[in-house]
Structure 1
């Protein structure tokens, strides 16, 4: 009798593991389907103009900072204004303009790195390098925000996980929350999201004559 009961317990355990695995796979598929919808939506726009709020918090280091910024995205080109610094990528070269130091850095390629979410890929960074899981849903001022948890596949990544908040109706990104292994939490929240805006033909063109007294550092 005891052997029969033991066998039954083993069978039940196997069934529960199977059901749990099936449920997790189904949720992962839901997460991937939603991320694919977000990517398709982003690619459908000619350009995107975003005003955002950025916060950085670490209780152990007693750090609590907030900043605002805006970015214009057009394909892989971008124009970013953040914390008094302007960054322009024209598709070939990257320009970082720092008025406080009257310095401009010009590099031949866009920044790369496992931990970097550059402006050009800030809305599609999740397409590689992460495991993804269906997470909580929150109501934010009448908007249903569905969160997807992203876990970096690179063990050397300094981030523990990323929570990607997606507006369930528009399929646009509402916020990105990064949680570091050192306890640092950074949050980027979209305040304004505009698409297909009329842009100047020189929107992503760097004009050196605008900065006559600046030191130009070429990398």
Structure 2
């Protein structure tokens, strides 16, 4: 092997080794985030949601909040409340005075639910170490996720992680169609005192609502 080929090979091996180390660092940080999330009895998050696609002239913003306890959740977003009590999902739409009740299919791994917001990144992606930013004195380390499946409509996902707390600061999802979705955590509270009915749907509270039982 001549000298030039040796240099090229050494550079290639060096780059590959660095990429592998970055992927390991990224996955290790995400594992820390997952472990921290699992250590809490419950989590209450207030967030801002932004959807942007310049090509289609779409620019939307909204705020919401969600309480998570295991696989249970209580979500308020865009004027709609969704409650999951462990068996059924209750979607309450005050504007239409309508409630939809459906069974949750636990076998559907592709189902998008609020409690997966903090754990979806555990599988199905290639990981890489990305930029670090200073946000109001907080060190936010980004990890880039690229879906393994070519059928996934997401081009990449960026997760911003507070280095000190190991909490997620934001999620930036970039679609193959150019749509950019950003979810920013404004408040992250843990182990809050919750009423025993926090994840319970009480039909008597909605006497004039139309109830659509889907199952």
Which residue of the partner structure matches residue 64 of structure 2? Answer: 69
Q: Structure 2: how far apart are the matches of 1:40 and 1:113? A: 21
Deviation per CA, 1:163-198, whole angstroms, max 9, x where unpaired?
Answer: 000000000000000001111101000000000000
Alignment check: 8 A CA contact 1:95 1:107 kept: yes
Q: How many residues are paired up?
A: 213
Mind listing any 5+ residue stretches in structure 1 that lack a counterpart? none
Instruction: Indicate the SS of the match to 1:146.
Output: strand
Match of 1:135 among 121, 130, 151: 130
Question: How far apart are the structure 2 equivalents of 1:181 and 1:52?
Answer: 24
Matched, 1:152 2:147: yes
Output one character per residue of 1:111-154: Cα deviation in whole Å (capped at 9) or x when no partner: 8463x542111111100111111100000000000000011111
Pairing 1:17–2:27 present = no
**Contact (CA 8 Å) 1:78, 1:90: kept in 2 or not?**
yes
What secondary structure, in the 3-state scheme, does the structure 2 residue paired with 1:24 have? helix
Runs of 4+ in 1 over 4 A off after TM superposition: 110-113
Output the CA distance in 1 between the equivalents of 2:152 and 2:91. Answer: 25
Q: Which stretch of the first structure deviates more once superposed, 122-131 or 196-205?
A: 122-131
The TM-score normalised by the length of structure 1 is 0.94
Deviation at 1:8, TM superposition (A): 1.4
Aligned partner of residue 28 in structure 1, secondary structure: helix
What RMSD, in angstroms, separates the aligned Cα atoms of the two structures? 1.3
Residue 214 of structure 1 aligns with which residue? 209
Work out which of the two has the higher radius of gyration on C-alpha atoms and give 1 or 2: 1
